Structure 1
Amino acid sequence: MTNWLPDLEHGKGPLYLRLAERIESDISEGILAPGTKLPPQRNLAFDIGVTIGTVGRAYNLIRERGLVSGEVGRGTYVTDHKETSLVPPPQTEPFGGTRGPVATPGKIRMDSTAAIEVGQSGTMERLLAQISKQYPTEIASYSRTLPASWQQAGSKWLSAAGWTPDPSCIVPTLGAHSAILAVIAAITVPGDRIAFEDLTYCSAARSVNLMGRRSVIMQTQNGSLTPDDFERHCAQQHPKLVFLMPSLHNPTATTMPEEHRRAIVEIARRYNVWIIEDEIYGSLTRHDHVKIANLAPERTFHIGGLSKSVAAGVRGGWVACPPHLAARVLTAHKMVSGGMPFIMAELGAQIVNCGEADTIRAKVQTEVRAREAIARSAFAGMDFISQPLSPFLWMKLPDPWLSGTFKNAALNEGVLIDDEDEFKPGRTEKVFHGVRLGLTVPRTREELQQGFTILRRLMETDNASYDSYS
């Protein structure tokens, strides 16, 4: 173990970042040679007069940079980075969850919740032709402006439950996922903790890890975060940001009670936590629940888009930001996405502003309602959660089925579904024995019914009789 003590008097930024930079500098200069054991976090914190959390964040940051390695109980050691710098670090967890990068062809797809096809192509064809004639120069170049109509469309689409965001606070994005990444990039730095529910939209959590942030997993009850558990994590883990889906939670199809929303807002204020309110499904269900952004506009990023209720291929999304952060999120979105294509932003804005998005949404809602009724009939007597306008349902599997085993059995029978691991933001001992069944991608109700029949038959079959040798 070294007697090394860093000098943090010089430098800019937070103490943990200055400490990380000092460690990296001393490694590059040979002061900390490969194999050197860094001081224990508690000892170093005492010696230099900072909190153990500051040292922990710095050590995590340099570990993410590949400069050190170690395990709990062994300590933290400087790696031989000159020898390993040309070798990519091994992936310790699935890069993209439990889905394959390309859907298996010839299967009944219940692993997606994209908007149902209800004849959107005719509207898209007309609007795209109109945009090409109106803006021939803009569609041939980069987007360097932010037309007021784009922001007005976002304000209109996100408005709900008596809340209408100020258009000046709206940032158009390449879908809701791109909006999430832009917010994370804008208000957090590597090493920051971001809190997720124990089941959630995990593409966001995986993206967080790729960006050098750390996931904090919060426990839920009945599919929803409880204020008590949120406060416990705020006090112990100090997350910078919490990601929530309060209206039609993915994948549990639950809705957060209003009293929980209000309590979570007050806790976030006490601990100075930012909030992402992902309302991508809210635009489809149109529940009259108070929006967190309406309760805490100074710290909430309210995100929505067209993918679940109009057309996923348009990649239309918007984020309503706290007033002083819209410009920062706009810049961050350009950095993480490469910029907003004019033709996509204009298409998303026009389809909302001319009212066609509402027309398509009404058709999608009608079809979703019919398909959800088919699901209720097909799985009568079984344990599942759904809502009349939910494009998916959360199925509790009967004994002795396990989630991953059932997913493989369904695939073998020609049906693609999502197991619970697809929605876990990290390793956890909690087991839900659940799967999510999407209702919107099968082209016909008959194909959907066929898939339900296969799945019900599997659930009623003892999985010991399932032959998985193939």
Structure 2
Amino acid sequence: MDTTWRPRPAPGSGPLYLRLSEGIARDIEAGRLPDGWRLPTVRAVAHRLGITPGTVARAYAELRRRGLTSGEAGRGTFVRTSRDLAGFGAESADDAEVVDLSGNWAAPPPSALLKELGGVWTHGQLSTLLGTGLGRDADVLGADYLEGFGLRVPGHRVIATSGGQHALFTALTALTRPGDRIAVDALANPGVRAAARLLNLRTVPVVHDADGMRPDALAAVAADASVVVTTATLHNPTGVTLSAARRAELAEVVRARRLTLVEDDPFGPLAAQAPPPLATLAPDHCVYLASTSKTLAPGLRLAFLSCPPPLADRMASTARGSAWTPASLVVDLVHRWLVGGLVARLVEGRRAESAVRIGLVRELLPAARPCAVGGAHAWVDLGREWEGADVAARARARGVAVAPEGDFGGLRPGFRIGLGAPNSRSELTRGLHRLAELLRAP
């Protein structure tokens, strides 16, 4: 252990907690802090640097979010140099006692359905799919799959990709150039922000109200950003589902200002009462993304992208150039599940489990605002005396992981709770009780 090490914020501008986390991250990546090394306590670092403990707690939370450290209740914060990559904004629960509510997966399907998921191929079929054969026509499958999202499009306008993030990356690559501005939700899906960083795009936040993205706010930024990315159904992280009237107002702005709207719709079929997609209101201006990860299973990594005809060749070329084609096994499996009715049963089962878990949130954590039935997350707004990173650090100390507002842009103090990540209702209940105790604490 290097007893001479001292934490130092990275030079430059920006929030102090981010510069401090970056300074520590550089020391970790340079090998100055070995795997398993215990970082000084929050109070020790605050005293040494002459800053507030809250700033240090936010820096430590950012390091955990990046997967560079892990925290164990009552023991401290430890360096992790040998690790698996976690999902966007997700902290891995190193301690079995930690209830991980930081992820945003759909609620697990009924256990009876799991028996139907395997053993679907003969030896000959596997040989074809594992060889050079492409199996099912992925684009035609996409057109069939999108009908479950309320969208009817011909197969030649659908492009299959290797997951929702690949679809988003494909769309933004085809629609923008480095340095462009794109309009995003004031609290935006971390995947959007990650893709923007990789493509050197600047994000312009669009203000929300209780009904979602405000049309007047979108119109106000239209001169600076010709592409807008949003989720109209079960928005991540706020959980808002746009009403039919709000969708019509946004579509009117998109048409009048000649914008290109990228509608990311990962939860579509799970929301039984949602209005039709924005893409049905502005089809000539909308690129629509739908994946199998939230509705069926996170490990499938298959998504479908629908776009206006003038963009189809460019989108298809971008998708092929970045990941070629989706895995044949996955395409064929989703086809079998779709035609065999298993997709419909999975959706129904996830929706029913979502209703139960949302009921637990309403009962045990009244401060939270869960999304509509079908979704898998809830948002907790915090007053000015709280910050999401501080709450996340305190929650972790109590044995529960959440995703703070910094993961989504940081413009509104709060944190997101993932309802689908726990494998059981009892585990979710345990995490909600711990959060309720935290929010009641002075």
Identity of aligned residues (%): 22
Candidates 417, 420, 424, aligned match of 1:440:
420
Correspondence for 2:39 = none
Correspondence for 1:208 = 196
Candidates 178, 188, 197, aligned match of 2:176:
188
Encode CA deviations 1:209-260: one digit per residue, 9 max, x unaligned: 211222222222226111111011013x1x1311010111111111122222
Correspondence for 1:35 = none
Superposed displacement of residue 97, structure 1:
9.6
The whole-number CA distance in structure 2 between the counterparts of 1:394 and 1:335 is 37
Candidates 106, 109, 113, aligned match of 1:115:
106
Aligned partners of 2:106 and 2:375 also within 8 Å: no
Q: 1:160 to 1:194 in 2, by over 3 A?
A: same
1:417 aligns with 2:402: yes
Q: 1:97 to 1:291 in 2, by over 3 A?
A: farther
Superposed displacement of residue 313, structure 1:
0.7
Deviates more, 1:249-258 or 1:448-457: 249-258
Aligned partners of 2:211 and 2:243 also within 8 Å: no
Candidates 392, 401, 406, aligned match of 2:386:
401
Amino acid at match of 1:180: L
The whole-number CA distance in structure 2 between the counterparts of 1:343 and 1:137 is 10
Aligned partners of 2:149 and 2:268 also within 8 Å: no
Q: 1:174 to 1:122 in 2, by over 3 A?
A: farther
Count of residue pairs brought into register by the alignment: 360
Correspondence for 1:226 = 214
Superposed, which structure 2 residues align to 1:79-90 within 5 Å?
none
Superposed displacement of residue 450, structure 1:
0.6
Candidates 272, 275, 278, aligned match of 1:289:
275
The whole-number CA distance in structure 2 between the counterparts of 1:452 and 1:97 is 21
Superposed displacement of residue 344, structure 1:
1.8
SS of residue matched to 1:171: strand
Superposed displacement of residue 284, structure 1:
1.4
The whole-number CA distance in structure 1 between the counterparts of 2:167 and 2:161 is 6
Correspondence for 1:364 = 350
Superposed, which structure 2 residues align to 1:53-452 within 5 Å?
98-100=65-67, 101-102=85-86, 103-105=92-94, 106=96, 107-118=98-109, 119=111, 121-127=114-120, 129-130=121-122, 133-141=124-132, 143=134, 147-148=136-137, 150-159=138-147, 163-222=151-210, 224-235=212-223, 237=224, 239-380=225-366, 382=367, 384-397=369-382, 400-424=385-409, 430=411, 432-452=412-432
Amino acid at match of 1:299: H
Deviates more, 1:180-189 or 1:152-161: 152-161
Superposed displacement of residue 410, structure 1:
0.9
Aligned partners of 1:301 and 1:321 also within 8 Å: yes
SS of residue matched to 1:393: strand
The whole-number CA distance in structure 2 between the counterparts of 1:452 and 1:310 is 25
Superposed displacement of residue 121, structure 1:
4.5
Superposed displacement of residue 385, structure 1:
4.0
Superposed displacement of residue 309, structure 1:
2.0
Name the TM-score, length of structure 2 as normaliser: 0.75
The whole-number CA distance in structure 1 between the counterparts of 2:431 and 2:66 is 18
The whole-number CA distance in structure 1 between the counterparts of 2:336 and 2:106 is 18
Deviates more, 1:433-442 or 1:392-401: 392-401
Superposed displacement of residue 156, structure 1:
2.7
Correspondence for 1:78 = none
Q: 1:346 to 1:226 in 2, by over 3 A?
A: same
Deviates more, 1:151-160 or 1:350-359: 151-160
SS of residue matched to 1:276: strand
SS of residue matched to 1:112: coil
Q: 1:415 to 1:142 in 2, by over 3 A?
A: farther
Superposed displacement of residue 161, structure 1:
7.5
Aligned partners of 1:97 and 1:421 also within 8 Å: no
Superposed displacement of residue 140, structure 1:
2.1
Aligned partners of 2:186 and 2:207 also within 8 Å: yes
Q: Which structure: larger Rg?
A: 1
SS of residue matched to 1:243: strand
Q: 1:299 to 1:287 in 2, by over 3 A?
A: same
The whole-number CA distance in structure 1 between the counterparts of 2:182 and 2:384 is 34
Q: Please, what is the CA RMSD of the aligned residues?
A: 2.7
Aligned partners of 1:170 and 1:320 also within 8 Å: yes
